[in-house]
Amino acid sequence: MSEQTYIMIKPDAVASGKIGRIISRFEDTGLVIERMELDTLSAEQAAANYAEHEGKPFYQGLIDYITSGPVVKMVISGPDAVAVCRKLMGVTDPAQAAPGTIRGDFGLTMDANVVHGSDSPDSAKREIGIFFGDLK
């Protein structure tokens, strides 16, 4: 069964010229990029996406980082797209991510881990709404 997921290439990867190499990882699996846009996130979009972290010590730094420069926002679809994309990305901490994963190959730190992906179909639906809906 085909499903959609939300993927975002973060400011560190955009600034260091890794967009094409990251996108090819998703396309090489047979997943389909339904929508893609280069954009700088608003503080409102960032706050909506990371609402579960509000009040935590790292929250403001996360908001400042994700709004610091352009990102590539994507809606990707295919069979089990959420799980497939999560496997391609690797674990959140690049130091623990396996070689061959996007974070393992391109990430440097927990803060600059190059890519964000939805962790469930419900999260994907919510995040697609935040980043491709009416919230600016």
Spatial distance between the Cα atoms of 134 and 33, rounded to a whole number of angstroms: 21
Contact in structure between 110 and 10 (CB atoms under 8 Å): no
Residue 69 phi, psi dihedral angles, 5° rounding: -170, 180
Q: Please write the tens of the pLDDT for every residue from 22-70.
A: 999 999 999 999 999 999 999 999 999 999 999 999 999 999 999 999 9
Spot the catalytic one: 71, 78, 116, 130.
Answer: 116
Spatial distance between the Cα atoms of 133 and 71, rounded to a whole number of angstroms: 16
Global pTM value:
0.94
Q: Is 53 a catalytic residue?
A: no
Q: Please write the tens of the pLDDT for every residue from 85-134.
A: 999 999 999 999 999 999 999 999 888 899 999 999 999 999 999 999 86
